[in-house]
Structure 1
Amino acid sequence: MYHSVSSCTDDPYRITVSPYRLDRQLRWLRGRGLSGVSVGELMRARAAGRAAGLVGLTFDDGYTDFVDGALPLLRRHGCTATVFVLPGRLGGENAWDELGPRKPLLDAQGIRTAAAEGMEIGSHGMMHTDLTTADDTTVERETKQSREMLADITGTDPEGFCYPYGTVDPRAIKAVRNAGYGYACAIDPGALTCMHALPRVHIDASDTSVRLFLKRTLNPLRRKALPPEPQVPSDAGAEAGEDEGAVGSGRTGGGR
């Protein structure tokens, strides 16, 4: 999982990958016969038994540098990706990152540009709120309203959700499922791992070919099947398998 793609060196949360490093990482995938795709495409291929050699790419937060920094490289290497955006902060900035630096976020037109280039648009909530500590009203707004707003922007109901900070609990899974999402991404949801809490691998500027090899070989996302959905009471919703599975964007210490 990725976040920002730029040459910025002020990076206290390790969310920034330079265009040069992203290019090298995508070359590494291609050199091993792997194809980067959106998580939605990966999940559909997996359900059809055709996910071998596919790797899910995600970019969290929806920074404007996705269009200028990441998109040209994804096109060059024949990749697609899922961009998880914040419709409650259109054209804003990453105010939740206390240490900065401030990075501008995509506005509605930027989101449409990414979608028109074949990228999947998913929700990261409205305001980048931790769903595990928010009240029920806020959780519903972050999941349901964000999906409705993105549908208005892109003309398509988003299939995927990404939990801010990677944090997830049964209540958050229930809200995401009830809002109509087909899948959701976390970071390391442990026992909660399921289609609505997919694990991902943090990729950053330090990930050279050796580190990528070790992550692909050793990370725990290589499993034959996703566990069933957790039994969450409802009042009314990786590398995966021997296929390659969902990777993505992220931070250490609990993604952003």
Structure 2
Amino acid sequence: MRAVPILMYHSVRDDPPPDTAALSVRPGVFADQMALLRERGFTPVRLSDPAADVPRPICITFDDGYADFHSEALPVLASFGYPATVFVTTGWLDDAGPDAAGRPLDTMLRWGHVRELAAEGVEIGAHSHSHPQLDQLRDGPLHDELTRSRLLLEDRLQTPVTTMAYPYGYSSARVRRAVARAGYTTAYVVANDVAADRSGYAIPRLTVQRSTTPAAFGRIAEGSHRFHREKILTKGYAVVRRSRYLYRQAMPRD
């Protein structure tokens, strides 16, 4: 299968709250980035679309399900004719009602928005139900997070949902096995590498954030940006997270 860069966005707005600011891109900058993709001959495709027969395929993904995807990002994408994938945190949705869970970091999409996006060809994936650190959960709550989000999306959209992205990008071999058992066929991490293919349960993506310069974005899209600092921090933190989980496992259960 052909290697494809997969861009990872979160929010598109001028004035994000502090908790999302670092991963929020200004609308004008986002439009410039999409224009750069066109100038360089990229062809955005959905994660589920074949890429063998298109010139310079690239995927555009959004995590969490912020309302500004509908108000800011979607009009830009539509103006270029670009598809995208949105990974939705179901318990964070603005009208989640009795299913509300977790702590949304900003104004979120509503179910009506999610249905509208799906009807317009935006690919919808799961992003857990309450956006926890999945690798720190015991097996029961982990299974609930994974299945609840998928079943809610399938019920509201009346279509299978078979892909998901890990909140915070955190996973482990145990979490990946649970994702497979929960009915997903693919799952996405961060990793900041170009995906050799789009199969399996640890497919890498490339982070686009507020500090990304035009030159850096060009390198990210081309797959040549090295993300040295991010990769060093990720490897170190993986050791810390594994130790935390083992410690919690050793603690008495309630």
TM-score of the pair, normalised by structure 1: 0.75
Question: Would you say the 8 A contact 1:189–1:197 is kept in 2?
Answer: no
Structure 1 residues 153 and 141: alpha-carbon distance in aligned structure 2, compared to 1, 3 A threshold:
same
Cα deviation, 1:70-123, whole Å, max 9, x if unaligned, reads 1000101111111011112221799657xxxx4111121111111112100100
Structure 1 residues 167 and 203: alpha-carbon distance in aligned structure 2, compared to 1, 3 A threshold:
same
1:116 and 2:131 matched: no
Match of 2:91 among 88, 92, 98: 88
Q: Which amino acid in 1 is paired with 2:24?
A: T
Kindly indicate which of the two structures has a greater share of residues assigned to helix: 2
Alignment of 1:54-93 (within 5 A): 54-91=57-94
TM-score of the pair, normalised by structure 2: 0.76
Partner of 1:246: none
Question: Would you say the 8 A contact 2:44–2:82 is kept in 1?
Answer: yes
Structure 1 residues 25 and 136: alpha-carbon distance in aligned structure 2, compared to 1, 3 A threshold:
same
Structure 1 residues 104 and 12: alpha-carbon distance in aligned structure 2, compared to 1, 3 A threshold:
closer
Counterpart Cα distance in 2 of 1:210 and 1:219: 10
% identical aligned pairs: 32
State the shift of 1:125 in Å.
Answer: 0.2
1:197 and 2:202 matched: yes
Cα deviation, 1:183-233, whole Å, max 9, x if unaligned, reads 11101199xx96211111110233233112222242479xxxxxxxxxxxx
Please give the secondary structure, in 2, of the residue aligned with 1:40.
coil
1:164 and 2:170 matched: no
Partner of 2:184: 181
Alignment of 1:241-252 (within 5 A): none
Structure 1 alignment gaps of length 5 or more = 222-251
Counterpart Cα distance in 2 of 1:181 and 1:39: 14
Partner of 1:210: 215
Please give the secondary structure, in 2, of the residue aligned with 1:22.
helix
RMSD value, Cα: 2.7
Structure 1 residues 109 and 76: alpha-carbon distance in aligned structure 2, compared to 1, 3 A threshold:
same
Question: Would you say the 8 A contact 1:84–1:121 is kept in 2?
Answer: yes
Please give the secondary structure, in 2, of the residue aligned with 1:186.
strand
1:19 and 2:59 matched: no
Q: Which amino acid in 2 is paired with 1:212?
A: F
Counterpart Cα distance in 2 of 1:6 and 1:152: 30
Counterpart Cα distance in 1 of 2:19 and 2:145: 26
Structure 1 residues 28 and 220: alpha-carbon distance in aligned structure 2, compared to 1, 3 A threshold:
same
Kindly indicate which of the two structures has a greater share of residues assigned to strand: 2
Please give the secondary structure, in 1, of the residue aligned with 2:212.
coil
State the shift of 1:177 in Å.
Answer: 1.2
Of the two, which has the highest radius of gyration?
2
Question: Would you say the 8 A contact 1:94–1:105 is kept in 2?
Answer: no
